[in-house]
Amino acid sequence: MPSNIPDSIKDKAGEIFNKLDQINFAEIAIIAGLAWGLILLAEHLIPWTAKRLPARMRMYLLPSIPVFRLVILVIAFAMIVPMVIQTSLQNLIAILGFTAVALGFAFKDYISSLIAGIVAIYERPYRVGDWVTIDGAYGEVQSLSLRALRLYTPDDTVVSIPHIKIWNTNIFNANDGNRNLCVVTHFYVDPDHDAV
C-alpha cells in the first residue's frame, strides 16, 4: 500500500477479510465445484426434459436455464462470502454499498433505456405503424414498451431495439404518423430496347 495512507485505514481495510489461515480453501473449492456441477446438470437436464414435454411447456422450461444458473451462483456466493469476509455490521454496510454501486453501473444502460422510453413517448420520434430505420434496421413499428420498440421488417423478422438508441443514433421515419408512405423504386431499361 502507498505510504501516505494512514495506519488506521490500513488496519480497517485488513479487518474486512479473514486471515488466510482462517479461510477454509478446501470447503470453498467444494462449494464452487458443486455449483459448477449443478449448473452443468441444469444445462443438460432441462433441455433433455423439454424435449420430452409438450411444445408449449418447452417454451417455458428452456428460458429458465439462466434463472437456475443465477440462483445456483447466488447461493454459492452467499455460502462463500462469510468464509472470506468477517461478518459484522460495518463490513455488511461496506459490502452492501459496494454492491449497490456495482449494480448501479450494471443497470445504467437499462435505466437509460427506460428514461429514453419516457422521452420517446413525449417527443414521438416514432409511433406504432411508422416505417423507420434505426441503426440499420428498417421496418414497421409494431409495439412500444417502456424499454424498447419492436420493428417488423419486410423480410418477416421482428427486431427489438432499445430506446437508448435515440441518444446517439439517427432515426429515419418514412411516414411520421401519416397514413401515406412514399416508396422509391429503382428500375432499369435494357440498353437495346426500342425507344419508339
Instruction: Give the 3-state secondary structure of the chain.
Output: CCCCCCHHHHHHHHHHECCHHHCCHHHHHHHHHHHHHHHHHHHHHHHHHHHCCCHHHHHHHHHHHHHHHHHHHHHHHHHHHHHHECCCHHHHHHHHHHHHHHHHHHCHHHHHHHHHHHHHHHHCCCCCCCEEEECCEEEEEEEECCCEEEEECCCCCEEEEECCHHHHCCEEECCCCCCCCCCCCCCCCCCCCCCC
Q: Please state, in angstroms and rounded to a whole number, the distance separating the CA atoms of residues 126 and 124.
A: 5
pTM of the model: 0.54
The count of C-alpha atoms lying within 13 angstroms of the C-alpha of 84, restricted to the half-sphere facing its C-beta, is 11
Residue where the block lists cell 473449492: 29
Give the pLDDT of residue 17: 64
Which residues are paired to 85 by β-bridges? 17
Give the pLDDT of residue 166: 87
Per-residue pLDDT of the chain (196 residues; tens, 9 = 90+): 455 555 555 555 556 666 666 677 888 899 999 999 999 999 899 889 988 888 778 777 877 888 888 899 989 988 887 787 777 777 778 778 888 898 888 888 888 888 998 888 888 888 888 899 999 999 999 988 888 999 999 999 999 999 999 889 999 988 877 777 777 788 888 888 887 7
Q: Please state, in angstroms and rounded to a whole number, the distance separating the CA atoms of residues 130 and 143.
A: 10
pLDDT digits (tens, 9 = 90+) for 46-94: 889 988 888 778 777 877 888 888 899 989 988 887 787 777 777 778 7
Give the pLDDT of residue 41: 94
Q: Please state, in angstroms and rounded to a whole number, the distance separating the CA atoms of residues 44 and 51.
A: 11
